[in-house]
Amino acid sequence: MSKNTTSNSSPTQRVITDWDGPLGLPRFEAVSDEDFPPAFEAAMAEHEREIDAIAKDDGAADFDTVITRLELGGQALNRVGAIFWNRAGAHTNQTIQALEREIAPKLSRHFSKIAQNRDLFARVDAVWQGRDKAKLTTEQSRVLERHWKGFVRSGAKLGEGEQKELAEINERLALLGAQFGQNVLADESGWSLHLDDEADLAGLPDFLVEAMVQAAREHGHESGHAVTLSRSIIEPFLTFSERRDLRETAFKAWISRGEGVQDAAHDNRPLIGEMLQLRARKAAMLGYADYAAYKLDDTMAKTAEAVNGLLAPVWEKALDRAHEEARALEALIAEAGLNHRLEAWDWRHYAEKLRQRKFDFSEGELKPYLQLDRIIEAAFDVAGRLFGISFVRREDIAAYHPDVRVFEVRDATGKLAGIFMGDYFARPSKRSGAWMSSFQSEHKLPTEAGVGQLPFIYNVMSFAKAAPGQPVLLSLDDAHTLFHEFGHALHGLLTQASYPSVSGTSVSRDFVELPSQLYEHWLTTPQVLTKYAVHCKTGEPIPQALIERVAAARNFNAGFRTVEYTACALVDMAFHTAGEVKDPMAFEGRKLADLAMPDAIAMRHRSPHFAHIFAGDGYSAGYYSYMWSEVLDADAFSAFEEKGDVFDAATAERLRKHIYASGGTVDPEDAYKGFRGKLPSAQAMMEKRGLA
């Protein structure tokens, strides 16, 4: 293990790399934007020295002298990156965005240099070739395989000229991904629809009106209300507004993000075409038929054929259901004496009216019972009942933004087990959506600071703020999002891995959504709703009759919801199996036409703002993974239902051991079978969606 050299850095650089804040956290308030460039340069230089020491070591190449040292290398760079990428996503500005465009390709160049270091790969390959005699643990075998395959997939076996080309491709892709995300954020934060007339608010419930007042102030208006492109405002506006003209205006702005409509400089369409071309070339250089084959090689699904084999029957059933739903909505429009056709900006509005009629249930009726603070408490309580952990608020610790809440995570004995941060509110400096990430992951290796490290995990969401003094109310979808991201957080917090590269969410893409999607199931159990869903004004618990109506309406509009998601997964897979795509928007249009996509339903993420697959490549050829994991999560929750107790202790212990604690230390199929005893079929998922 190389000596940490950050002590030779400047004091401002050491603030970023030598964390000495409360509980070992960074001192976020001491880090200025201008500190990042020199800190990155120093950290990359240190990492290069560590890599050179491993590569040029003339001793025997074994797991400890090569792989363990690789696992521990780059700590300073990890720390600089953790703070920077958190700021870039959750609290950015023009300085950070400019740095992002500069740093992303630099980092790509740095890691390409490591991946194409022939001396280093020779030592990794020597360990790989001797693996059968090395008596490695299962976890060590997976760590070794991850490193060896990582080098090969990064071009370690290519000739010098091809390595240079691959490095240039990766560098360009990094820059394009950063630009793509920044363009989407610019369109989202730069657009709002200011409403001054009371008639513009027709049909809007109080909770939404109050949120729109707050949004107007955040967008610089001293009076009136604002519709923004934050999902927690735009979706309820499209649902409740009686002003069809305003719904159309807002919807078209929402789905045109990244198309250069607001500002030609934010047009992502040329970026998509170039990214697809570069990805196809990269895959070909590495010996894969297409980029999907490259990305799926290390997943549960393995092939695009397997993915499409899952998606195709779901699509057919969802499409049939969506046509039924459309006919019902068209009947409502006709019944109201209107003669317009059903458009995409009408669907949510009339679906809500139909739901009220069929189930005597409205989202507006439920929302006063879903207070943000209570739902957070519910998520913590479920974790305590399942896994024996508790959360202690630390209001005395400053995080990276005043809105962020900091919690100690303690195990059943009261011992500190990690840190959790919750960042729940939308703001112009934050990209939309919701995600989980970490400042550091758990591991058990010896370091200069001691043995192992605790996980520092955070959740980011984009809920609309309420007026001062008023509770923040969530939709049912919002509450599901909170539970979903907290499930990811638990995956990071509960992991018991020895090595960083297989800790927490470092699992295959189509397994990583299992812990998060599974956790959502507990939200709507009677045990949780009756305790935590209390009326924001009266304090009365949610009536049993309303719980029953919510349950009855669970699969209402299932065709719409499944079509808008599955279309994205199918388009994603089509993009990445097609090779060169000269006109991405025309390609998207042809694919949707081939699928017979209904005109009145838009993709949940149209290509110019499909950040999952283009703002980086995390979910590229992988958006299907939500549904793949849904097959697993539907079956997994059945394990509790079969016991007649959603908190059954023995089942919860197996869940913790095999799913939440194992990280990537074992094969995901083995992990799932360890919990459930078998692999699932898609039937439980189809039933869960109401499509069986």
Report, as residue numbers or ranges, the catalytic residues: 485
Closest CA relative to residue 397, chosen from 422, 430, 364: 422
Residues 6 or more apart in contact with residue 686 via CB below 8 angstroms: 314, 317, 692
**How far, in Å, CA of 326 to CA of 599, rounded?**
10
Closest CA relative to residue 179, chosen from 54, 286, 266, 285: 266
**How far, in Å, CA of 375 to CA of 363, rounded?**
16
10 Å CB burial of residue 391 (0-12, 13-18, 19+) is: buried
DSSP H or E run through 122? helix 118-129
**How far, in Å, CA of 561 to CA of 464, rounded?**
22
Closest CA relative to residue 633, chosen from 505, 510, 548, 524: 510
DSSP β-bridge partners for residue 618:
none
**Single-letter code of the amino acid located at 24:** G
Number of H helices, E strands in the chain: 29, 9
Judged by phi (left if over 0) then psi (alpha if -120 to 50, else beta), residue 162 lies in alpha
Other residues' Cβ atoms within 10 Å of the Cβ of residue 107: 18
**How far, in Å, CA of 70 to CA of 327, rounded?**
59
Please, are residues 445 and 485 in contact by the beta-carbon 8 Å criterion?
no
**Single-letter code of the amino acid located at 46:** E
Residues 6 or more apart in contact with residue 531 via CB below 8 angstroms: 378, 381, 541
Dihedral, CA atoms, 290, 295, 300, 306, nearest 10 degrees? Answer: -30
Q: And the tokens for 385?
A: 């009942």
Q: And the tokens for 199?
A: 């008639």
Q: And the tokens for 548?
A: 């029953």
Q: How far from each other are the two terminal CA atoms of the chain, in whole angstroms?
A: 55
State CA 198 to chain mean position distance.
37
Please, are residues 152 and 86 in contact by the beta-carbon 8 Å criterion?
no
DSSP 411: -
**How far, in Å, CA of 575 to CA of 577, rounded?**
6
**Single-letter code of the amino acid located at 443:** H
Question: What's the angle, vertex CA 676, arms to CA 675 and CA 677, rounded to 5?
Answer: 105
**How far, in Å, CA of 76 to CA of 19, rounded?**
10
DSSP β-bridge partners for residue 443:
453
